[in-house]
Amino acid sequence: MRELFDTLKTRSYALTPVLLDTCFLVHTFSHADRINKLYGLCDRKNVGITSFSISEFLNIQHKVPEQVRSNIRKFLHSSPDLFTVNINVNPGEWDNERSFVNTIEPDLLKHVHDPSDAVLIATAISMRADVLTRDKHHLYTADLENFLRKYKINVWNKMHD
Q: What is the pLDDT of residues 35-84, one digit of tens each?
A: 999 999 988 888 999 999 999 999 999 999 999 999 999 999 897 788 99
Ordered structural domains, the chain, with CATH:
2-156 (3.40.50.1010)
Please say whether the beta carbons of 81 and 40 come within 8 A: no
Please say whether the beta carbons of 145 and 155 come within 8 A: yes
| Measured distance CA(149)–CA(8) in Å, rounded | 30
Q: Considering the entire predicted model, what is its pTM?
A: 0.88
CA 30 to each of CA 24, 36, 39, 107: distance values in angstroms, whole numbers, following the listed order: 10, 12, 15, 34
| Type of residue numbered 61 | Q
